[in-house]
Chains A and B, each alone.
Chain A
Amino acid sequence: MAIIEVDGLVKRYGDHTAVDGVSFAVEQGEIFGILGPNGAGKTTTVECVEGLRTRDGGAIRVCGIDPREDSAELRELLGAQLQESELPEKLKVGEAMELYSSFYREPADWRELLATLNLTDKIGAQFRRLSGGQKQRLSIALALVGNPRVAVLDELTTGLDPQARRDTWSLIETIRDRGVTILLVTHFMEEAERLCDRIAVIDSGRLVALDSPAGLVAKVDDRQRLRFRPSAPLDHALLTALPEVTSVERAGSQLVVTGTGNLLHAVTTVLARNQVIAADLRVDQTSLDDAFVALTGRSIDS
């Protein structure tokens, strides 16, 4: 049974419809991504799930609970990390954890949680003294201190440097391994591709696609492109004869072979048989970026 069910969600702000009939279901133990450009309605969607906003239409169930009906019970089961939410400047990390664990019926061991998030040495540090990455990790710790079954993480790595971002990603996988289902809002392709089991692509308040990262890419195009410099002249006909190959072009000293299916294997087999070595071999596959452009008609950053 799905742990989060969203069915035909509608949220309006005045005349503007921010979320327009979005439906999806998140399975237990998944990392489920909501991907879309800024202003697409991602945050509004998860805020309706969290019960922070009241929906105008559709149905939502989190562990069978309607966020509109029983918000007290929902808050025991759902931990949320919000965009742009701070703590009092002079509150210490340990005090924040102690305080927030007193809010829950069955809190997690907050010291262990800080250890998992590599914050143990910051227990006595005030919030204002933390780096961006540390603040985000504390934010995750606070979202998890109530031992939730679901954690909603909104734009978790925005503003972090690449190293901190990668560290945060492995933390999220650790959290999932603890049995927490994760709903992840992001506008980073790389993040969605690396972390998510499934992704809901949202654009202008509508769901445009829902699939695994590989599934989204395959849906759009499974064309691949090989580039290499042959060590000896090669008859193009040898390659064009292959069923996987659609075209062969010469670009300077390089050959560019376009095709589908198991293109790399087919081409390298022919090369080996003809004792040609492919130098500087590169494989370009359709990326999630390409898929996003194909699905929404624009790049995520525009």
Chain B
Amino acid sequence: MSALSRLTATETRLFFREPVGVFFVLAFPPLLLVILGAIPAMREPDTDLGGTRPITLYVPIIIVMGLALFALNVLSQMFATYREKGVLRRMRTTPVKPQAMLGAQLLMSTILSIATMLAVLLIGWLAFDVGLPRQLPAYLVGYVLAALAMFALGLLVASVAPNGRAAGGIGMLLFFPVMFFAGLWVPRDAMNDVLRTISDFTPLGAGVQSLQDATAGHWPQLLHVAVMLGWTVAAGGLAARYFRWE
């Protein structure tokens, strides 16, 4: 087995040894969809939302929440902890560079968050009759762009946090505004113009809208693509600048 695949397998195993983390990151998003879907009003067309059913809007919101949890709570904290404990430093003494650890973490986060996405899509479709994306390539493009922006943000947190505990705190602090503008509390369609405009410029506001557009059969809007790429470049650039292996 190559070092990267062995490393990814090991990191995934370690991830599954933290039951609290597994619950929040993997089980919580589908569970939240089920709970919301159990509320009758969520399944009724809402005139305030232009006749859309709220549960339809919550599917992409919960999918991007899966990304946010991985990026801000798992990736950032694991990385900062590994640096703090000298795990990355020890790797530097082997032929495998610690960059491989970064690759393994990103690979694991991508695979597991795609699994969450599929689970949420399927539950939405089977249990609550939420239509599957009509424009699948567009959906994947939107998802990948949102994932890139969030992972870059997570790595930025890992770069500036002095230790694992601080990374966890900063990640949590970022999670709430990011998810607020993604529409977790008030879906974008129910936001007033000011909030929605702000939301357009946040990584997951743009992400949710792109997924919503692709579900309806459209390609993401140029603005949202630009916003997600912008966050990736800005956060990724800063992360690269401040990143320390030890």
Specify which chain B residues have a CB less than 8 angstroms from the CB of A105 in the assembled complex.
Answer: 95
| A79 contacts the other chain (CB 8 A) | yes
Residues in chain A near residue B13, CB distance under 8 A? 95
Cross-chain contact A102 with B2 (CB below 8 angstroms): yes
Query: Which B1-16 residues have C-beta < 8 A from chain A?
Result: 1-3, 6-7, 10, 13-14
Task: Select A104's contact among B14, B87, B94, beta carbons within 8 Å.
Answer: B94
Secondary structure call for the B interface: helix
Known: A52-B93, A91-B14. A84 touches B7 (CB 8 A): no
**8 Å CB interface, B50-96 against A:** 82, 85-87, 89-90, 92-96
Question: By the criterion of a CB under 8 Å from any partner CB, how many residues of chain B are at the interface?
Answer: 21
Chain A 36-55 interface mask (CB, 8 Å, partner B; 1/0): 00000000000000101000
**Pairwise interchain contact A90-B14, C-beta atoms closer than 8 A:** yes
Is B18 an interface residue when CB atoms closer than 8 A count as contact?
Answer: yes
Task: Please give, as numbers and ranges, the residues of chain B lying within 8 Å of A87 by CB-CB distance.
Answer: 85, 87, 90
Tell me how many residue pairs across A and B have CB atoms closer than 8 Å.
60
Q: Closest chain B residue to A91 by CB distance?
A: B14
Does A14 interact with chain B (Cβ within 8 Å)?
A: no
Contact A142 B90 (CB under 8 A): yes
Let me know if B86 and A85 touch, CB within 8 A. Answer: yes
Please state if A88 and B82 are interface contacts (CB–CB under 8 Å): yes
Decide yes or no whether B241 CB sits under 8 A from chain A: no
Cα–Cα distance between A50 and B13 once the two chains are bound (Å)? 30
Q: Which 3 A-B pairs have the closest CB atoms?
A: A85-B86, A80-B93, A86-B85
23 A-B pairs within 8 Å (CB atoms) are namely A72-B95, A75-B93, A75-B95, A76-B95, A78-B93, A79-B93, A85-B87, A86-B87, A87-B87, A88-B85, A88-B87, A90-B17, A90-B18, A99-B7, A100-B94, A102-B1, A102-B2, A102-B3, A102-B6, A102-B7, A103-B95, A104-B95, A146-B94
Chain B residues proximal to chain A, CB less than 8 Å: 1-3, 6-7, 10, 13-14, 17-18, 82, 85-87, 89-90, 92-96
Q: Report which A residues bind B (CB closer than 8 A).
A: 50, 52, 72, 75-76, 78-80, 82, 84-88, 90-91, 95, 98-100, 102-105, 142-143, 146
A87-B90, A103-B3, A105-B95 given; name 10 further pairs at CB < 8 Å. Answer: A52-B93, A75-B93, A75-B95, A76-B95, A82-B93, A90-B14, A91-B10, A91-B14, A98-B6, A99-B10
